[in-house]
Structure 1
Amino acid sequence: MGLPEMIDSTSLPRAFYARPSLEVARDLLGRHLVHESNGERLVGRIVETEAYGGAEDSASHASRGLTRRTSPMFGPAGHAYIYLIYGIHDMLNLVTESPGKAGAVLLRAIAPVAGEASMVRHRGGRRRDLANGPGKLTQAMGVTLAEFNRHDLCQGDRLWLAPGEPVDDHLVTAGPRVGIPYAEPRDREAPWRLRCPAAVRGAS
């Protein structure tokens, strides 16, 4: 096992996730999303995230209360919360916040680090716009709701997040979240989407 593989074998601890969603969303930039499947390790560097709070955030699923679908958001930090949109796209979120408070961070884009050929194959041979959107990201990485919803990301088993390379503040931009027309104006306009513009191009 080479050095990169050894580094990416270390999963982020639960304490990393058990913090306010916006803090976690910022600190996720540059970290590595790792999926180990069929003897191959797919790795993507996280370059865009969106933070979601609890009952106080009208853009968040948690604002509608505890349901079967949203229950992972109310559970322990460091687990996956995956839901389906438009009947086809799996959206990978990471559960955040301290016990008793709901929250999550949506992974919006990654840049390939390892296993790019398999990512392209998962995307039907499309190398362009490989993982520059949340649905493209999960398709490229082979991550599905059926397999990974509620998955514990802190165990280093099949799907986890590795330390990667944290991003300096001057490389990060913040702006409004995408696709939340139902939210209150203050929440629609909140700068809770974090991205590394230069690195996002690597996801295209």
Structure 2
Amino acid sequence: MRTDSSRIPNSFFLRDVTQVAPELLGKLLVRRFEDGTIQKFVITETEAYRGGEDKACHANKGLTPRTKVMFEKGGLVYVYLIYGMYWMLNFVTGEAGDSSAVLIRGIEGINGPGRVGRALQLDQSFYGENLGSSERIWVEDTGENPQFISAPRVGIDYAGEPWISKPWRYIVKESAM
């Protein structure tokens, strides 16, 4: 197990998703690839999905094989495939049963959650990965707290109001330009 003091512990994720999502901005998303190379990416955009109450959240329909990890304690990875080609990266938040998660929508130089998943070479094997102990993916603190803007989430018209208008998308100001 890594003993990197800048690695964010799982306790960081054991809070409300609308606290965790903006606080991930400016942190480093670290990925160790199969060939051993390590790349670090600054997180520039996130979206919060608040468990069963949130009509835009996958967990809104309850516990399923797909959403099982979302009902576990925060600090785990939730990945899912869209359009048969893009793995979307999410971090589970809250206590067990909360079923909330943060979607990583952008990292420095890469905008869009599908592109993020592709750049990180994600696949089904990341489902349930523990960010606190993983040797493949984790988050590090930079000590930075960048200014950000809030906006409505993207692509959730099916959820209806008030969920469409919730300002639960967080974007580092520099990347919002």
What residue is the counterpart of 1:90 in the other structure? Answer: 87
For structure 1, the residue ranges without an aligned partner over 5 or more in a row are 1-5, 112-129
Q: Would you say the 8 A contact 1:34–1:159 is kept in 2?
A: yes
Q: Would you say the 8 A contact 2:44–2:106 is kept in 1?
A: yes
Q: 1:43-122 residue pairs with structure 2 within 5 A?
A: 43-111=40-108
Equivalent residue in structure 1 for 2:30, among 34, 42, 45? 34
Secondary structure (helix, strand or coil) at the match of 2:46 reads strand
Cα distance change of structure 1 residues 42 and 48 upon mapping to structure 2, 3 Å threshold: same
Q: Deviations over 1:95-145 (max 9, x none)?
A: 00122211000000001xxxxxxxxxxxxxxxxxx510101011112222x
- The higher radius of gyration belongs to 1
Question: 1: distance between equivalents of 2:125 and 2:173?
Answer: 31
Q: Structure 2 length as normaliser, TM-score? A: 0.92
Q: Would you say the 8 A contact 2:51–2:99 is kept in 1?
A: yes
Q: 1:133-172 residue pairs with structure 2 within 5 A?
A: 133-144=112-123, 146-168=124-146, 171-172=147-148
For structure 2, the residue ranges without an aligned partner over 5 or more in a row are none
Q: After TM superposition, which residue ranges in structure 1, 4 or more long, deviate above 6 angstroms?
A: 6-9
Structure 2 counterpart of 1:155, one-letter code: S
Q: Deviations over 1:40-74 (max 9, x none)?
A: 10111000000001111111011111000011110
1:15 to 2:6 alignment: no
Residue 164 of structure 1 and its aligned partner are, at CA, apart by 2.2
Percentage of pairs with the same residue: 39
How big is the alpha-carbon RMSD for the aligned residues of Structure 1 and Structure 2? Answer: 1.9
Cα distance change of structure 1 residues 189 and 158 upon mapping to structure 2, 3 Å threshold: same
Equivalent residue in structure 2 for 1:198, among 169, 174, 177? 174
| Count of residues in correspondence between the two structures | 175
Question: 1: distance between equivalents of 2:170 and 2:80?
Answer: 21
Q: Would you say the 8 A contact 1:62–1:103 is kept in 2?
A: yes
Q: Deviations over 1:135-194 (max 9, x none)?
A: 1011112222x22111001114111111124324xx210010001011121011000000
The structure in which a higher percent of residues are helix is: 1
Q: Structure 1 length as normaliser, TM-score? A: 0.81
